Amino acid sequence: MAKLRGKALVAQSGGPTTVINSSLCGVVQECIRSEEIDAVYGANNGILGVLLEDLFDITKESPETIAGLKRTPSAAAGSCRYKLKSLKDSARDYERIVDVFQAHGIRYFFYIGGNDSMDTADKLAQLAAQKGYDLRIMGVPKTIDNDLAETDHTPGYGSEVKYLATTTLESGRDTEALYTFDTATVVEAMGRNAGWIAAGAGVGHRTEEDAPHLVYVPEIPFTIEQFVKDVNETKKRLGRVVVLASEGLQNEKGEYLTSQTGAFAKDSFGHVQLGGVAEMLKAIIEKECGIKCRYNKPGTAQRNAMHFASLTDVNEAWLVGSEAVKAALAGKSGFMVTLIRESDSPYKVTTGFAPLEKVANGEKFLPRDFMNAEGNHITEKCRKYVLPLIKGEAPIKIGADGLPDYVRFKRYAVARKTPAFKP
Amino acid sequence: MAKLRGKALVAQSGGPTTVINSSLCGVVQECIRSEEIDAVYGANNGILGVLLEDLFDITKESPETIAGLKRTPSAAAGSCRYKLKSLKDSARDYERIVDVFQAHGIRYFFYIGGNDSMDTADKLAQLAAQKGYDLRIMGVPKTIDNDLAETDHTPGYGSEVKYLATTTLESGRDTEALYTFDTATVVEAMGRNAGWIAAGAGVGHRTEEDAPHLVYVPEIPFTIEQFVKDVNETKKRLGRVVVLASEGLQNEKGEYLTSQTGAFAKDSFGHVQLGGVAEMLKAIIEKECGIKCRYNKPGTAQRNAMHFASLTDVNEAWLVGSEAVKAALAGKSGFMVTLIRESDSPYKVTTGFAPLEKVANGEKFLPRDFMNAEGNHITEKCRKYVLPLIKGEAPIKIGADGLPDYVRFKRYAVARKTPAFKP
């Protein structure tokens, strides 16, 4: 494959994770090392920044800032939820993106994201090929949800689970100390459609005593009757109960619990309940089991908890970014870097490639046998899968004030070369 | 003062904290070192364990378990919210406690807790004196709320703030990356009546960019009009906004913004149980400011976050426990150990003593000048007070599975010597 000289563009998309910047770091450091890549631009807020030609020159950032990405949570280049459809339906947007690439001599595009991003990248690759514009596109996997097809797991997942398992087992100690009064606690995990996160954080249950005592995922239909039974049984056995539940719990009809109406859809004033699954489960526990319940909703804190991130995850996130660049330099295009688990013990991972299209159209659900027959906790198989991913504590830098020091880009703007565009 | 030989009893009370076990460790290690104290018993679940004569012998626990308390969150001996009233109204309970002490030769009682616990300890001291029973009682301060009178600050507060500030600034990075879509985030801080916690975590706002951008505390009446104005102004300036709000926000009439009704509306102390400030502020932001808002409610996670605790706090918690024992051995009784700040820079703390009665009847609110004139963020004075308390990261032990290893007592039961008692 002939060497291709030009600039690289990198963008981040979708929900932030603790380690998406580590992938960005891998991309940027590998680009800087190469001879063919003249500069690395970042798009402000993902594909939106490309459409708006809102670019900045990462090459001008200090090496300290670039290295500091590895210990900085969330998306330093900014992210977005701007959705591109088919090449036909979003033709104007796709054309615009290739125009911007051409105007700036962008020959390499690295897109760090989930399956929607891989879909966008796939279509861009097709359009560039149609137009005869020599462009190498590589996808870099990212999502706390761990639901990407074609890869053993996704960067972001390990750190999400390490933190959520830790905070759940810590909250479990609270319930344990106060069981004579605050007998139950519900912790709400992210995960709208897949139960990877809640199941993953189930590994905190190392002994009968350790929280979570019950785990519920969207893949297994939730019924109030079974839940009440589970809570009562656990309470009888341990005197307390900590429940870890996915935000996306669904009933037998596949409807989200939180979109249901009925006894728990309204509070005691008849107001529609504002919150989510945790509040609903708390209400069920208090009314149907007659015990006091608290709830914790870590929310976005769980996907940005750099202060207690998985070292394995941070390193793998960097690796997939770096491998994407190496592959593109070697002539590859239209693939996402994947993680292949060679062995569990010792844990060994290598990288591979999957066609963007296959990733775009896939979705990976939690295997049924990662959950027990009752559907209320994880199995050893799940534990074996998860544990290597949460190993090690990623180093961070603590400032003089006792809080973590995270970096920010200076964002050296790249001069515009195209007319204004309204997406 | 004559030497007093006998056993010691230690109990923990009220809401758990990240470092209450560190105080327990200080008490136990100091007792073991002394010649006068033959054994240290723990009461299961605070004063409830004394009433029920549900005691266990901490002296029999391994030195590793006792040392491990310093890196274990929540109350290892169990806590409770059992409220004793006046000596007259709860005469039966107080008499019972002294009976249990006498039956077991308890000559030293160390009570780790907040002002309700100091009140109980004070009354016990009075009753023992009336009965001519030689008993030395010392209080050990504990509360994340930092609202105890007579002490510069309380153990538990520094770790609470270190974690909450960190998770808020991390969540702020999420909002920063997604500001084109998820423009606002509300983080709910604990703090029923005093704003120490929310204000403390305001130190994460190191630059204009850093979250939280707005801080609200119960001491300053909350109005929706001003809040909407604050949010809109911040949004205009930064394009996004992260709000940190105390769960105990109150309107101009001193009424809680949200308070629940029904069976679980009040705890056994008669405190109104709160929840829902974050949901309410989210609803206001979405409706009145027209921007999308998320909310995070760390709940009990914030008071048990040993995985990122303040080293200063852990050490001071140990110190007040140890000093309580030293003072009791020297003949002191009826006092709580206090922390006296000798200087901010370098930070220097010594310990002192306050009569239990003074602590029991006091409550320390956030000084008005710790908040700015607008009442929507902290001042430099607040920052100067808080920063030394969150300094350093307490060491923890990570298990082979990548999660923290916390200890549990074996709980070697002490044989009962009194008839059964129903509190």
DSSP conformation letters of A65-96: HHHHGGG--S-TT----PPP--TTTTHHHHHH
Length of chain B in terms of residues written = 423
Please state, as a whole number, how many other Cβ atoms lie within 10 Å of the Cβ of residue B410.
Answer: 13
d(Cα B200, Cα B212) in Å, to the nearest integer? 11
Q: Which amino acid is at B331?
A: G
Verify cis geometry, omega within 30 degrees of 0, for the bond prior to B395.
no
What are the residues facing A246 on neighbouring strands?
A189
Per CB-CB distance under 8 Å, the chain A contacts of B297 are 295-297, 299
Picking from B106, B101, B42, B102, the residue whose alpha carbon sits closest to that of residue B76 is B42
Between B268, B390, B392, which is nearest A181 by CB? B268
Q: Which of B81, B82, B173, B266 to substitute to test the interface with A, most A CBs within 10 Å?
A: B173
Element (H, E) at B32: helix B20-33
* Separation CA A26–CA A326 (nearest Å): 10
Nearest to A402 among B45, B280, B392 (CB): B392
CA dihedral A187, A189, A193, A195 (to 10 degrees): -90
Which site among B45, B116, B178 would you substitute to test the A interface, given the most A Cβ atoms closer than 10 Å to its Cβ?
B178
What would the DSSP string read from start to end of B152-210? Answer: S--TTHHHHHHHHHHHHHHHHHHHHHTTTT--EEEEEEP-SS--HHHHHHGGG--STTS
Q: Cis before residue B212, ω within 30 degrees of 0?
A: yes
Is the pLDDT at B263 greater than 50, yes or no?
Answer: no
The sheet with strand B184-189 has its strands ordered as: B214-216, B241-246, B184-189, B293-296
Taking alpha carbons only, the member of B154, B148, B110 closest to residue B303 is B154
Residue B196 half-sphere exposure, CB side, CA atoms within 13 Å? 26
Tokens of B103: 């039956």
Judge: A206–B401 Cβ closer than 8 Å, yes or no: yes
Residue A129 burial by Cβ neighbours in a 10 Å radius (0-12, 13-18, 19+): middle
Q: Read off the pLDDT of each residue in B7-26 and give the average, rounded to a whole number.
A: 97
pLDDT at A268: 43
Three-state secondary-structure class, residue A349? strand
Spatial separation of the C-alpha atoms in residues B32 and B50, rounded to whole Å: 21
In angstroms, the CA B93 to CA B123 distance is 11
Identify the pLDDT of residue A255: 86
Q: What is the pLDDT of residue A81?
A: 86
Name the residue among B16, B276, B392 with its Cβ closest to that of A174: B16
Question: Where would I find the beta strands (DSSP E) of A13-135?
Answer: 37-43, 55-57, 106-113
Residues B58-107: tens digit of each pLDDT: 999 999 999 999 999 999 999 998 889 999 999 999 999 999 999 999 99
State the catalytic residue, choosing from A57, A93, A99, A145.
A145
pLDDT at residue B272, rounded to an integer: 52
Would you state the structure tokens that stand for residue A268, as one six-digit string?
Answer: 């005691």
Q: Domains (ranges, CATH) in chain A?
A: 6-150+308-360 (3.40.50.450), 157-295+372-390 (3.40.50.460)
Closest by Cβ to B74, choosing from A177, A187, A294: A177
Q: Is the dihedral of CA A131, A132, A134, A135 positive or negative?
A: positive
Q: Would the CB atoms of A76 and B170 count as touching at under 8 Å?
A: no
Q: Report the predicted TM-score, pTM, of the whole model to 2 decimal places.
A: 0.96
Quick one: CA dihedral B75, B79, B85, B91, positive or negative?
A: negative
Which pLDDT score is estimated for B262?
43
Residue pointed to by tokens 């490639």:
A353
* Cis status of the peptide bond prior to B346, with omega within 30 of 0: yes
Tokens of B100: 């249990």
Residue B202 banded pLDDT, cuts 50, 70, 90: very high
pLDDT of residue B50: 98
Under 8 Å between Cβ of A31 and A8: yes
Q: How far is Cα of residue B56 from the mean position of the Cα atoms in its chain?
A: 24
The CA distance from B202 to A408, in Å, is 20
Beta-carbon contacts of residue A73 (< 8 Å; ≥ 6 apart): A16, A17, A18, A19, A21, A303, A304, A305, A306, A309, A406, B170, B173, B174
Bridge partners, A113 (sequence order): A141
Give the type of residue at B96: R
Measured distance CA(A72)–CA(B170) in Å, rounded: 9
Give SS3 for A409: coil
Cβ contact, residue pair A301, B296, below 8 Å: yes
pLDDT band for position B181 (cuts 50, 70, 90): confident
pLDDT score of A267 = 43
Q: Are B223 and B269 in contact (CB under 8 A)?
A: no
Contact across the interface for A402 and B408, Cβ inside 8 Å: no
Number of cross-chain residue pairs from A and B with Cβ atoms under 8 Å apart? 211
**Position B261 confidence tier, pLDDT thresholds 50, 70, 90:** very low
Tens of pLDDT, residue by residue over B283-303, are: 899 989 999 999 999 999 999
C-alpha dihedral, A349 to A351 to A355 to A358, nearest 10°: 10
Decide the pairing of beta strands B37-43 and B55-57: antiparallel
Residues of A in contact with B306 (CB under 8 A): 170
Q: Tell me if residue A174 is catalytic.
A: no
* Residue B279 pLDDT: 86
d(CA A318, CA A21): 8
Instruction: Find all residues with CB under 8 Å of A30, minimum gap 6, and list them.
Output: A321, A322, A324, A325, A326
Distance, CA of B193 to chain centre: 13
- CA within 13 Å, CB half, B321: 32
> Using CA atoms, how far apart are residues A252 and B270, in angstroms rounded to an integer?
41
Burial class (CB in 10 A: 0-12, 13-18, 19+), A272: exposed
User: CB atoms < 10 A from the CB of B216, how many?
Assistant: 28
pLDDT at A2: 78
Cβ contact B78–A306 (<8 Å): no
Q: SS3 helix, strand, coil % of chain A, rounded to 5?
A: 40, 20, 40
Q: How many other C-beta atoms can be found within 10 angstroms of the C-beta atom of residue B63? A: 9
Backbone angles phi, psi at B44, to 5 degrees: -65, 125
- Of all residues in chain B, the one with the smallest CA distance to A180 is B80
Would you call A392 and B401 a contact, using CB atoms and an 8 Å cutoff? no
Point out the residues of chain A with pLDDT beneath 50: 261-274
